[in-house]
Homo-oligomer: A and B are copies of this chain.
Amino acid sequence: MAASTLAEVARLAGVSPATASRVLNGSARTPGPEIAERVKEAARSLGYIPNAQAQGLARSSSGLIGLVVHDIADPYFSTIARGVQSAAREHQKMVLLATTSGTPADEQAAVGAFAARRADSIVIVGSRSTRPQDAKDNQELAAELDRYCSNGGKVGIVGHPVVGASADGYHVVPVPNEELATELARALAAEHTAKFVIIAGPDGLLTSDDRIRGFQRGLLAAGLPEAEVIHTGFDRAGGYQAGLEIAGRIKSSQDPASNQPAACLFAVNDVMAIGAVAALREQGLSIPRDAAIAGFDDIETLRDFRPALTTVSLPLEDIGRLATLGSLGWSETDNAMPVTGVVTLRRSTETVPT
């Protein structure tokens, strides 16, 4: 048995569908003070639930927000998703979730699906890529987004605009990755003399590249040489792998007499940093005695790690909110408060181990 319809409710209440519609939904003014009650009663007794599909079709607006992330199980994304969710809720919208593993092709498919569902807006999170092999897919993604926008859709983006996208309707929430990485480098350079090594994501991942660039800049500003960059996966596994390699080097060249860390590591995100720490420890090294290490993001779940991880705190939930509000055209009020982060020095980069 299918759900009951507005028509049925109207008939039972002895009114026209239009009237029923008016009282059951937010029309200009609720009609007849007494007729209204009759309709409501009818709806209740029938267990009437408005068909959002039909509503959407009729008023051409779905009340849906599409959210595109690389991996919802990654704490970075899930925290942002929480922000998106809360903003959506405040605006009486539901969020449609799509995960893409970060591949532009999947992102394009997701955007297409959202467009098909006539999502009111789309929020895209996750680093853009400029790798050559992604060029074509990026272009198609951009085309898909442009088409969505030209059909009246709005999109909010965290970080960088989608490569090649040009149409109107984009609202990007800038994240000062580069600047913050510079600050972090400066802070570390002030206390560390060891060789700096950056554990980065694949070359061409914009977020990773930004953080690398900023960090190098900070080092230079402090009069230090550029850090070596190890490119690996942008996840824990990548950090772990890099950690193994670094551990090998440290062990084969460590000065036993030295009481200083042999290296100062900067992993471009916390999850990678944790992976690296795991590898270093497995190889018998100690943090921060043998190597100092810093991350980026300040993932909540990771704050209880010991040694506590030096990192750059980012207001992830707010970022999700801002991107969502922006995609909804509500940015004016919040635009005055741009996203900012703060360098958070903790135990993992202390120079005087207990």
Contact = CB atoms under 8 A, between A and B. Distances in A.
A60 B2 contact: yes
A167 to B, nearest CB: 12
Contact of A116 (B52, B95, B151): B52
Interface stretch (A130-138, A200-208, A222-230, A301-309): A301-309
Contacts of A49: 112, 115-116, 147, 151
In the complex, which range does the number of interface residues on chain A fall in?
A: 35 or more
Interface string A54-74: 101100101010010001111
A26 to B, nearest CB: 14
A79 to B, nearest CB: 5
Nearest to A88: B97
A81 interface: yes
Given A281-B306, A304-B305, 16 more contacts: A1-B151, A2-B152, A49-B116, A53-B62, A53-B117, A53-B118, A57-B57, A72-B81, A72-B85, A73-B75, A73-B79, A75-B75, A75-B301, A96-B97, A271-B301, A301-B301
Most buried by B among A73, A75, A147, A151: A73
Contacts of A40: none
Nearest to A305: B305
Interface of A: 1-3, 47, 49-54, 56-57, 60, 62, 64, 67, 71-75, 78-79, 81-82, 85-86, 89, 94-99, 112-113, 115-118, 147, 150-152, 236, 271, 274-275, 277-278, 281, 299-302, 304-306, 317
For the complex of A and B, 3 pairs with smallest distance between CB atoms: A78-B78, A73-B82, A3-B151
A80 to B, nearest CB: 9
15 contacts: A2-B60, A52-B113, A53-B118, A57-B57, A64-B96, A67-B97, A72-B81, A73-B75, A73-B300, A94-B113, A97-B97, A281-B306, A304-B305, A305-B305, A306-B306
A301 B299 CA distance: 10
A165 to B, nearest CB: 15
A102 to B, nearest CB: 14
Contact of A95 (B1, B96, B271): B96
A150 B67 CA distance: 31
A155 B169 CA distance: 37
A164 B115 CA distance: 39
A272 B54 CA distance: 45
A78 B73 contact: yes
Contacts of A299: 301
A94 B85 contact: no
A89 B50 CA distance: 27
A192 to B, nearest CB: 23
Contacts of A278: 304
Contacts of A51: 57, 116, 118
A150 to B, nearest CB: 7
A312 B349 CA distance: 33
Contacts of A305: 304-305
B94 A96 contact: yes
A61 to B, nearest CB: 10
A281 B150 CA distance: 56
B97 A117 contact: no
Contacts of A147: 47, 49
